[in-house]
Chain A
Amino acid sequence: MVITSMKQQGKDIGLCLCRVCQQLNTTGRTHCLRCETELKVRDYGSLQKSWALLITAAILLVPANLYPITILTNQGQVRHDTIFSGIVHLVHSDMIPIAIIVFIASILVPWVKIIGLSIYLCAISFNLPISKKKLMVGFHVIEWIGRWSMLDLFVISLTVALVNMGQLLDAKPAPAATAFALVILLTQLAAKILDTRLLWDRLENQDDTN
């Protein structure tokens, strides 16, 4: 359901929404009327923080994909599995549905998140003429799917706790697990910290329904 609007930004008429409790405040206030959080009409610094977090996450994505994420010992044979080779093994052992779930959670979601967020941040930083509406829908999708990457870490923790029978059958986490955990944390923070209202200011001189 869509409701009528006045096609005005809040800061034009001296109003500002608290980012913590969504209370409407006049821009003259320094702290929120309701929850006493510091008010910012626009958080310009959030763009830089978001870039910093995103670039760090993008760098960490390389070790997360190149290094092994689990070490599996099966009857004396040691196997180092990266995220990708783990999925290939699942495909070879005829578990296609599970392979698809793991592929989406561990490869597709982190990449989509990092590429999507960088497009979004570029659009704000460099005033790119991309439809704001599409960017915002994309941003909501990224916010929602981001958490599903945790699936792989949960699976690793269950497997490591369950399978510890020495030379017979044994699973251990490997360095990529930490890098992968940090990728999830940093990309979630980058999306959370960003003040999305900046996007709608930057392109204001163009038609905002484009």
Chain B
Amino acid sequence: MVAALKTSFRKKFPKPQYIYDEHGKKIGKLAKRTKRLNRSTGGTVVLFIFMGLLAVFMGFPLFLTVSNALKPLDELFLFPPQIVVRNPTLSNFSDLFVSMQATWVPFSRYAVNTLIITLGGTLGHLMFASSAAYALAKVELPGRKMMFSMVVLSLMFAAVVTSIPNFIIISSLGLIDTYWAIILPAFSAPLGLYLMKQFMEQIPDSLVESARIDGASEYRIYWSIVMPNVKPAWLTLIILQFQGLWATTGGIFIRSEELKPLSFAMGQIAGGGIARAGESAAVMFLMMIIPVTFFIIAQSQMIETLTTSGMKD
């Protein structure tokens, strides 16, 4: 009885045969496969339904933002709230435009401020972080381990605690009330370096070595070989940094009204209370639509087939 069970069990699950390397170490297993392990079409359908449900759920606030921005004032105050707008109107935007005209500082000034801070901070951070990551990942440097642990350590400390010393340093550099107070610290944000370094580690060393032997300078290797190979990484970095800087209000570092960024001005309008409810919905829409557009453009630049290791081994 037991023996019969045993044979039928063995028939179903044959004893695995192992593959050994020259030192007698197990390196793999040979076994007859009993079923295909590829995902079935049904599984794919279930996955997509799951993703679709989550996407609808996550897309709800976005939808609500768009629909709120188009609602006339009386619909905004309806109770219980309506999800879909009934009489779409652009009056919220025209009201917002009127408010914009009435600001003490011309509104375009806020936009220019944000543009300078966002572009400057994003591009600078990209250059600084990626070149430092290149050196940490691909150049033999004494002390690079220590420098890398400094980066991780500085990630860990809450910005709040360091805000007094940070303020003292920035003011002693004479940067208070300049764009640099926001841009310069953004250059050295530790997360970007960490991200870029992990991606660059995955590029084969032999690729970099062969370029070196062919006489390419370090700059050339960094710019023409490593950077194109980690394009998805720096596109991600740009998205994250853009989003962070776009949201900045200048805080305690930028005091003069004419240097404040757009996010601050928009926050002031949105905070105007119930009377400004329509404009506030329009503000929300505008503040979202730009990072959203940026995200979609950057994402569509990521095409995986372009990435190739360029190795023949």
**Are A and B a genuine interacting pair, yes or no?**
no
Q: Could you list which residues of chain A lie within 8 angstroms of chain B, going by C-beta atoms?
A: none
Q: Could you list which residues of chain B lie within 8 angstroms of chain A, going by C-beta atoms?
A: none
